[in-house]
């Protein structure tokens, strides 16, 4: 005991000092970024359900680096690169989040659980009432996906890697996770982390982009008179069954995502209240919590400071920015096509992230005109964006696998 030194006891500080300067700065930066995410989540600037556990996980994992066997630095959270079956069985008994990562995250199950919960929350009647309008907006809001795919190839990424990072433009975390898991396993962790990180951060940036590009008198256009057709629960159920079956038939590689989404819709429209509560509360909240927590602990400095990750970071923000611009462009086209009766900021809602982006545009419209109601149209675009993102992800996987 007399030979015990302060730094031998507090190994988090020891490994911080002993690290390469780049890693040391990265760890400190990520700890501070974790604090920022928690703060922004608690203030509802970013999605609190995802950002609070993600921020705490990010700060904790970069603080808790210690010495393992043979002087190797690591943590007791998770090892995302573990592949040897024997080593994996051993690490499952040591790293406390390894079972969550191995059995739900790295195989896409957690994305399917999230989609089931989202499906219960979706009212596909908003899409069915305005199918052309919703699909038109959703396609324009995928512009970032279509632009970043060739851009990533020109920067030296393979088609599979490019497709994986391009799906960030659809602003659907489960799709990013699913596509990168199949097409770019070696970049699965950084692409997924970058995707979800930017999906959260973009919510805070989109309002400024809207206010910069759309004048206040246009942002306040009221669309309450556009009631749309009255869609019954039976019609919604038929739509869910037919759409799910057709999409699974066309793109079976993405069938788990299609099935998960539409089984939630079917449960909602069938009036199965116990199942609705199970999926929308237990599954969705539980999966979202562990998704955020796992994403946070995957944000180790060693992982995120790889040179390729910088490309992913830049491409991710470019994809989401161009998708937002594409959505607004689509909104403006409908604005002029309808004789200036369509509120173009609805285009942002086509960048999926249902229902967050729809709530964002409704809030901005209300700020410009307290009587403005555009939420039904925004939800239609947002829900259509989810379906469109899944179709594009399935197409990428089918063509490039």
Looking at residue 6, its pLDDT comes to 55
Looking at residue 57, its pLDDT comes to 94
Helix, strand or coil for residue 67? strand
Per the confidence metrics, is the pTM higher than 0.75?
yes
Report the chain (401 residues): mean pLDDT per 10 consecutive residues: 60 88 91 93 84 93 87 86 81 89 88 91 89 93 95 94 92 85 87 80 81 93 83 93 94 90 94 92 91 89 79 89 94 94 94 83 93 91 90 91 84
Residues, the chain: 401
Q: Helix, strand, coil: what percent of the chain each, to 5?
A: 75, 0, 20
Which tens digit of pLDDT belongs to each residue from 94-147? Answer: 898 999 999 998 888 998 999 999 999 888 999 998 899 999 999 999 999 999
Rounded Cα distance between 327 and 144, Å, is 10
Looking at residue 319, its pLDDT comes to 92
Rounded Cα distance between 111 and 257, Å, is 8
Q: Is the dihedral of CA 120, 180, 311, 296 positive or negative?
A: positive
Rounded Cα distance between 106 and 237, Å, is 31
Looking at residue 357, its pLDDT comes to 86
Q: Do 354 and 47 touch, CB atoms closer than 8 A?
A: no
Looking at residue 266, its pLDDT comes to 96
As beta bridge partners, residue 73 has 67
Looking at residue 226, its pLDDT comes to 79
Q: Is the dihedral of CA 209, 305, 37, 114 positive or negative?
A: positive
Rounded Cα distance between 107 and 380, Å, is 30
Rounded Cα distance between 8 and 137, Å, is 58
Q: Do 55 and 193 touch, CB atoms closer than 8 A?
A: no
The alpha carbon of 61 is separated from its chain's Cα centroid by a whole number of angstroms, namely 21
Looking at residue 7, its pLDDT comes to 56
Rounded Cα distance between 298 and 309, Å, is 13
Which tens digit of pLDDT belongs to each residue from 359-390? Answer: 889 999 999 999 999 999 999 999 999 889 98
């Amino acid at each position: 005991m007399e030979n015990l030194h302060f730094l031998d006891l507090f190994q988090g500080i020891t490994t911080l000092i002993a690290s390469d300067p780049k890693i040391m700065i990265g760890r400190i930066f990520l700890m501070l970024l974790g604090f920022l995410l928690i703060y922004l989540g608690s203030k509802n600037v970013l999605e609190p359900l995802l950002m609070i556990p993600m921020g705490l996980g990010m700060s904790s994992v970069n603080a808790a680096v210690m010495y393992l066997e043979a002087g190797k630095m690591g943590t007791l959270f998770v090892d995302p690169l573990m592949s040897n079956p024997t080593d994996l069985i051993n690490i499952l008994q040591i790293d406390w989040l390894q079972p969550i990562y191995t059995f739900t995250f790295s195989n896409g199950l957690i994305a399917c659980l999230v989609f089931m919960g989202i499906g219960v929350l979706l009212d596909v009647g908003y899409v069915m009432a305005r199918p052309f309008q919703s699909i038109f907006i959703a396609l324009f809001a995928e512009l970032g996906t279509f632009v970043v795919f060739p851009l990533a190839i020109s920067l030296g990424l393979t088609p599979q890697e490019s497709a994986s990072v391009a799906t960030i433009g659809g602003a659907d975390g489960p799709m990013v996770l699913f596509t990168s898991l199949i097409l770019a396993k070696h970049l699965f962790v950084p692409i997924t982390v970058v995707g979800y990180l930017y999906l959260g951060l973009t919510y805070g940036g989109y309002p400024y982009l809207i206010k910069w590009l759309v004048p206040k008198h246009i942002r306040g256009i009221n669309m309450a008179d556009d009631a749309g057709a009255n869609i019954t629960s039976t019609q919604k159920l038929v739509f869910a069954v037919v759409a799910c079956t057709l999409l699974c038939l066309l793109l079976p590689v993405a069938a788990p995502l299609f099935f998960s989404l539409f089984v939630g819709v079917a449960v909602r429209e069938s009036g199965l209240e116990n199942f609705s509560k199970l999926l929308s509360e237990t599954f969705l909240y539980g999966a979202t919590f562990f998704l955020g927590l796992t994403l946070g602990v995957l944000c180790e400095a060693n992982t995120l400071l790889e040179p390729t990750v910088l490309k992913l970071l830049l491409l991710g923000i470019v994809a989401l920015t161009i998708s937002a611009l594409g959505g607004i462009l689509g909104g403006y086209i409908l604005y002029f096509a309808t004789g200036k009766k369509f509120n173009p900021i609805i285009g942002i809602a086509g960048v999926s992230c249902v229902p967050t982006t729809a709530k964002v545009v409704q809030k901005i419209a209300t700020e410009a005109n307290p009587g403005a109601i555009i939420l039904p149209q925004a939800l239609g675009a947002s829900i259509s964006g989810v379906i469109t993102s899944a179709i594009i992800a399935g197409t990428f996987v089918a063509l490039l696998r």
